[in-house]
């Protein structure tokens, strides 16, 4: 892969670096190896990350980042005034270099208006002229796993790193604080805690059936004396409510009741995490929690969870992966995944 450099400024001399992070939870997790590679290559630099508020908590558990800068939306909308405001804030901080993990032209505009002399990233979204270090985004690189997609970009810029190398850990004190949330729900420490994330913000084509999640939860409770916690956002409350109604045993529904930071801390104490392809799936994998990931319309080759303790359940069909938000056919890719498929994999993981 070639890099086009249009400045005499040398990236390796940078002492203050701004990373423009990605906007979604799963994408943010998949950038962690790239961020670790940047830190490894710039061990003495002050590294800041510019992110939207809803992913900021992720980087509070990432030791490779020194400072988190919030990109606050203006009344929930993109507008030029908002870009101008954040650019002025960036300009005052006087960064030596910006590494843009986000693909959008907006990221390059902010770095340009922020007068950052070195601006590096993929030449996507017609932003190549705004970059001083422009990395060609080839057809081949767009087909690899997203972890390698981001990692390859920073490698091309001269950073060294590996897809298994990232730093994402919940401190013991945070785990201790999260126990009070669980104890309020009657869950004692030291038991078998299993997390289930039945949502997926992208669309219903990524969601396995609530009644089947309920059946799996019941069997895990009966065989392993497990406590099952349902995770998700406020938008997932209808789904988690349906699961609770179908389950024969009581479940702990935390969807929409915790911050992302608290949810991450609780997830770190789970013995197993069962999830659709979602941001929470990626968090569990990065935490090293054994993760059972259910894939329907999306491609596990591109977005499977990072980490070493994962099992993917996916049924191949001629139309899969279609990457559609809503299935236009008969939802076979999810319908063919049975309760026995998921329970059997979960049983295997818990018995290791």
Q: Which residue has the higher pLDDT, 290 or 332?
A: 290
**What superfamily would CATH give domain 172-351?**
Glycogen Phosphorylase B; (3.40.50.2000)
| Cβ 120 vs Cβ 100: under 8 Å | yes
Q: Calculate the average pLDDT of the chain.
A: 90
User: What does the pLDDT look like over 145-170, one tens digit per residue?
Assistant: 999 999 999 999 999 988 889 999 99
Q: Would you place residue 308 in the very low, low, confident or very high pLDDT band (cuts 50, 70, 90)?
A: confident
> What percentage of the chain carries pLDDT values higher than 70?
91
Q: Where are the domains of the chain?
A: 3-156, 172-351
Taking the C-alpha atoms of residue 264 and residue 55, their distance in angstroms, rounded to an integer, is 12
Cα pseudo-dihedral 154, 280, 125, 163, rounded to 10: 20
pLDDT of residue 199: 84
**172-351 has the same fold as 3-156:** yes
b vs e for 119-131, b when ≥16 Cβ sit within 10 Å of the residue's Cβ?
A: bbbbbbbebbebb
The answer on pLDDT for 201 being more than 70 is no
176 class by beta-carbon count within 10 Å (0-12 exposed, 13-18 middle, 19+ buried): exposed
Q: The whole model's pTM is what?
A: 0.92
Q: How confident is the model at residue 97 (pLDDT cuts 50, 70, 90)?
A: very high
Long-range contacts of 302-305 (CB under 8 A, 24+ apart): 302/143, 302/144, 302/145, 302/146, 303/26, 303/30, 303/145, 303/146, 303/277, 304/145, 305/281
Task: Give, for 228, the enclosing helix (H) or strand (E).
Answer: strand 227-230
pLDDT in tens, 215-252: 999 999 999 999 999 999 999 999 999 999 999 999 99
pLDDT for the residue 324:
63
For the segment 10-67, what is each residue's pLDDT rounded down to a tens digit?
Answer: 898 999 999 999 999 999 999 999 999 999 999 999 999 999 999 999 999 999 999 9
pLDDT, position 323: 58
CB 133 within 8 A of CB 11: yes
The band of 327, judged by pLDDT with boundaries at 50, 70 and 90, is low
Please give the span between the terminal C-alpha atoms of the chain, in angstroms, as a whole number. Answer: 42
Sheet-wide strand order for 118-122:
3-5, 133-135, 118-122, 97-100, 16-20, 46-51, 67-70
Assigned CATH topology for domain 3-156: Rossmann fold (3.40.50)
Q: Pairing relation of β-strands 227-230 and 252-253? A: parallel
| pLDDT for res 325 | 59
């Amino acid at each position: 892969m070639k890099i086009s450099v249009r400045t005499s400024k040398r990236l390796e001399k940078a002492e203050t670096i701004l990373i423009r992070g990605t906007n979604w939870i799963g994408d943010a997790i998949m950038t962690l190896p790239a961020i670790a590679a940047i830190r490894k290559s710039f061990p003495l630099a002050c590294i800041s990350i510019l992110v939207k508020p809803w992913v900021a908590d992720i980087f509070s558990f990432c030791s490779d980042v020194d400072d988190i800068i919030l990109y606050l939306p203006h009344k929930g909308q993109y507008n030029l005034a908002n870009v101008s405001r954040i650019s002025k804030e960036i300009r005052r901080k006087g960064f030596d270099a910006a590494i843009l993990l986000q693909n959008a032209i907006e990221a390059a505009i902010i770095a340009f208006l922020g007068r950052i002399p070195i601006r590096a990233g993929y030449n996507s979204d017609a932003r190549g002229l705004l970059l001083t270090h422009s990395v060609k985004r080839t057809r081949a690189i767009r087909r690899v796993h997203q972890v390698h997609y981001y990692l390859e970009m920073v490698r091309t810029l001269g950073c060294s790193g590996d897809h298994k190398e990232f730093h994402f850990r919940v401190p013991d004190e945070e785990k201790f604080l999260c126990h009070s949330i669980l104890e309020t729900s009657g869950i004692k420490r030291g038991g078998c805690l299993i997390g289930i994330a039945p949502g997926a913000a992208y669309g219903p084509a990524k969601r396995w059936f609530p009644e089947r999640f309920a059946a799996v939860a019941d069997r895990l409770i009966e065989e392993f004396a497990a406590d099952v916690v349902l995770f998700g956002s406020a938008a997932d409350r209808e789904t988690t409510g349906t699961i609770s109604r179908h389950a024969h045993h009581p479940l702990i529904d935390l969807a929409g009741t915790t911050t992302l930071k608290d949810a991450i801390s609780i997830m770190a104490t789970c013995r197993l995490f069962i999830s659709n392809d979602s941001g929470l799936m990626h968090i569990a994998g990065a935490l090293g929690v054994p993760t059972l990931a259910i894939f329907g319309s999306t491609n596990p080759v591109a977005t499977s969870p990072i980490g070493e303790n994962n099992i993917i359940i996916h049924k191949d069909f001629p139309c899969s992966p279609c990457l559609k938000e809503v299935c236009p056919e008969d939802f076979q890719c999810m319908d063919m995944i049975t309760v026995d498929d998921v329970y059997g994999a979960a049983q295997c993981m818990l018995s290791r």
